[in-house]
Amino acid sequence: MIYRRIYAAATATAVVLSMVLGSAAFAAEAIRIGEMNSYTRLPAFTLPYRNGWQLALDEINKAGGVMDRQIEVISKDDGGNPGDAITVANDLVAKEGVVLMFGTLLSNVGLAVSDFAKQKKVPFIAAEPLSDTISWSNGNAYTFRLRPGTYVQAAMLAEEAAKLPAKRWATVAPNYEYGKSAVAAFKTLLSKKRPDVEWVGEQWPALFKIDAGATTQALAQSKPDAIFNVTFGTDLAKFVREGKLRGLFDGRSVASILAGEPEWIDALKDEAPEGWIVTGYPWYDIETPAHARFKDAYTKRFNDYPRLGSVVGYASMYTVAEAIGKAGSTDTDAILKAMAGLGVDTPLGRITYRTADLQSTMGTFVGHLTVKDGMPRMINWRYGDGKDYLPSEAEAAKMRP
């Protein structure tokens, strides 16, 4: 009797263990690539990104793959926190035997995985994290970053903001590294261009917990001519509603980082704040052949319009293919060598991974928000190439450890 129970317990343990230990069948010819992102924690941002790389993966494999081998992507949920992400990265590297990893959105997850990549000597393409410490102060030889970081976004906004007559500026940003570094970069860059600017107020609501009414009032109280906004997601929606109701934006300019990206602004629909200067992604109006082809393929396959994350996912997958193709091998050192200075064609144009800091030169769009047919749209936009806004390679190299 007792033994039967022990036996049952042992069977149950074995089931759990086999789930953990069970090794997937190893496809001999496909090149195995690891991928992870916060699919359960931040689905609104990561699902369009996944669509993007899946589209690219199909295109690549249909065209014969790389080195006459198909690419197989093993995709995992990183759980949205750095500790779990390390377990997942280890799963990909030690169990699945991937030759390269890409993905991540949250900066702390990206940083944790980049450090893991360095320790385990596996190339890692940090697709979406915005924190510039990934490329600079915490940079390492195994980590490449695709998306333009906080600094580039702030630099493009500061350039536009400097043209405004506004002298008194207030800032509002979520209280964590991304918000802090965006505000710091914007302040430095704008003050450099416009020494007469005065910083009259700042608000630091906790991420996704903004007390919008009180924050709006407090900002208005500092009587700014213009506001620099970093809040996003639900914070942005709450801030915009309260700000409009309470007249915070009347007669004031607002520069808002990333607020032109569809995943950040589309939830506001016709309530999007008109006239804001934003960085973003006007997918509806970009008419380059490369983008048109991408947009058509994406829309056809997913019956949805692309978000910026889709472009990033798509470009990540092509980066992987180009890197392995150029390396001509799946050997780590060969891939690292190929990645330095690697050029990749993306829907936004050709980008290069800089040799000094392994940061890609992907840029972003800056323009003004408006509402057309009930949806937020960017107008008067232009594309800023990352290479024109990044610090020079020599300066960047100095910031790396």
Partner 1 sequence: MSFYVVQFLTGLASAASLFLVASGLSIIFGVSRVVNFAHGSFFMLGAYIAYSLVGAFDGGILGFWGGIVGAALAVGLIGVVVEVLLLRRLYHSPELFQLVGTFGVVLVVQDVALSIWGPDDLLGPRAPGLDGAVDFLGHRLPEYDIALIILGPLVLVAIWLLLNRTRWGVLVRAATQDPEMAGALGINQKWLLTGVFFLGSVLAGLGGALQLPREPANLLMDFNIIAEVFVVVVIGGMGNIFGAFLAAVLISELQAFGILIFPEITLVLVFLVMAVVLVIRPWGLLGKAEIPHIAARAVGRPFRPVERRWAHLGLAVLAVLAVLPTFAGDYALQVASEVIIFALFAASLNFIMGVGGMISFGHAAYLGFGAYGAALLVRHLGFGMEAALIAAPVMSALGAAVFGWFCVRLSGVYLAMLTLAFAQIAWSIVFQWYDFTGGDNGILGIWPAPWASDSWIYYYVTLGLGLGGLWALRQCVFAPFGFTLRATRDSAARAEAIGIDVKRHQWQGFIVAGAAAGLAGGLYAFLKGSVFPTVMSIPISVDGLVMVLLGGVQTLMGPVVGAAVFTGLKIGLAGETNYWRIILGAVIIASVVAFPQGIVGFVKARTGRGEA
**Rounded Cα distance, 265 and 369, in Å:** 10
Q: Which one of residues 156, 197, 230, 268 is an interface residue with partner 1 (CB under 8 A)?
A: 268
Longest CA–CA span in the chain (Å) reads 85
Helix, strand, or coil (residue 227): strand
What the block records as the tokens of 193 is 């261009």
Is residue 400 at the binding interface for partner 1, with CB under 8 A as the rule? no
**Rounded Cα distance, 91 and 23, in Å:** 10
Q: Which one of residues 72, 159, 271, 393 is an interface residue with partner 1 (CB under 8 A)?
A: 271
Span 48-107, contacts to partner 1 by CB under 8 A: 76-77, 79, 81-84, 86-88, 90-91, 94-95, 107
Instruction: For the CB of residue 3, give the shortest distance to partner 1 in the complex, in Å.
Output: 9
Beta strands in 70-207 (DSSP E): 71-77, 100-103, 124-126, 143-145, 168-172, 198-203
Is residue 380 at the binding interface for partner 1, with CB under 8 A as the rule? no
Instruction: For the CB of residue 216, give the shortest distance to partner 1 in the complex, in Å.
Output: 8
Instruction: Please list, in sequence order, all residues whose beta carbon lies within 8 angstroms of the beta carbon of residue 324, skipping any fewer than 6 positions away.
Output: 31, 66, 67, 99, 100, 330, 335, 338
Is residue 377 at the binding interface for partner 1, with CB under 8 A as the rule? no
Span 177-196, contacts to partner 1 by CB under 8 A: 177, 180
* Nearest CB to partner 1, comparing residues 95 and 387: 95
- Other CB atoms closer than 10 Å to residue 207's CB: what's the count? 17
Is residue 335 at the binding interface for partner 1, with CB under 8 A as the rule? no
Instruction: For the CB of residue 171, give the shortest distance to partner 1 in the complex, in Å.
Output: 10
Is residue 213 at the binding interface for partner 1, with CB under 8 A as the rule? yes
Size of the site for partner 1 (CB under 8 A): 74
Is residue 116 at the binding interface for partner 1, with CB under 8 A as the rule? yes
Instruction: For the CB of residue 290, give the shortest distance to partner 1 in the complex, in Å.
Output: 27
Span 282-311, contacts to partner 1 by CB under 8 A: none
* Nearest CB to partner 1, comparing residues 199 and 383: 199
CA terminus-to-terminus distance, the chain: 63
Is residue 133 at the binding interface for partner 1, with CB under 8 A as the rule? yes
Instruction: For the CB of residue 103, give the shortest distance to partner 1 in the complex, in Å.
Output: 14
Span 5-44, contacts to partner 1 by CB under 8 A: 5-6, 9, 16-17, 19-21, 23, 39-40, 43-44
* Nearest CB to partner 1, comparing residues 116 and 144: 116
Binding mask 222-261 vs partner 1 (x if CB under 8 A, - otherwise)? -----------xx--xx--xx--xxx--------------
* Nearest CB to partner 1, comparing residues 139 and 347: 139
Span 138-157, contacts to partner 1 by CB under 8 A: 138
Q: Which residue from 187, 150, 192 is spatially nearest to 169, judged by alpha carbons?
A: 187
Q: Which stretch binds partner 1 (CB under 8 A): 25-33, 176-184, 316-324, 350-358?
A: 176-184
* Nearest CB to partner 1, comparing residues 112 and 308: 112
Orientation angle between helical segments 107-120 and 82-90, nearest 10 degrees: 40
By the 8 A CB rule, do 257 and 279 touch?
Answer: yes
Q: Which residue from 100, 99, 124 is spatially nearest to 112, judged by alpha carbons?
A: 124
Distance of CA 278 to the CA centre of its chain: 16
Q: What are phi and psi of 208, to 5 degrees?
A: 60, 20
Classify 121 in phi/psi space as left (phi over 0), alpha (psi -120 to 50) or beta. Answer: left
